[in-house]
A and B are shown apart, each in its own frame.
Chain A
Amino acid sequence: QKEVEQDPGPLSVPEGAIVSLNCTYSNSAFQYFMWYRQYSRKGPELLMYTYSSGNKEDGRFTAQVDKSSKYISLFIRDSQPSDSATYLCAMRGWGNTDKLIFGTGTRLQVFP
Chain B
Amino acid sequence: DGGITQSPKYLFRKEGQNVTLSCEQNLNHDAMYWYRQDPGQGLRLIYYSQIVNDFQKGDIAEGYSVSREKKESFPLTVTSAQKNPTAFYLCASSTDGYSNQPQHFGDGTRLSIL
Size bracket, chain A contacts: 20 to 34
Interface stretch of the complex, out of B11-19, B41-49, B65-73, B78-86: B41-49
> Which residue of B has the minimal Cβ distance to A97?
B97
Which A residues are CB-close (under 8 A) to B7? none
Contact A102 B43 (CB under 8 A): yes
Q: Does A4 contact B (CB under 8 A)?
A: yes
Contact A46 B104 (CB under 8 A): yes
Report the minimal beta-carbon distance from A10 to chain B, rounded to whole angstroms.
Answer: 13
Contact A43 B43 (CB under 8 A): no
Which A residues are CB-close (under 8 A) to B100? 31-32, 51, 92, 94, 96
- The interface of chain A, by Cβ under 8 A from chain B, is 2, 4, 8, 31-32, 34, 36, 41-46, 49, 51, 88, 90, 92, 94, 96-97, 99-105
A–B Cβ pairs within 8 angstroms, 8 of them: A31-B100, A43-B106, A49-B102, A90-B43, A99-B45, A101-B42, A102-B42, A103-B42
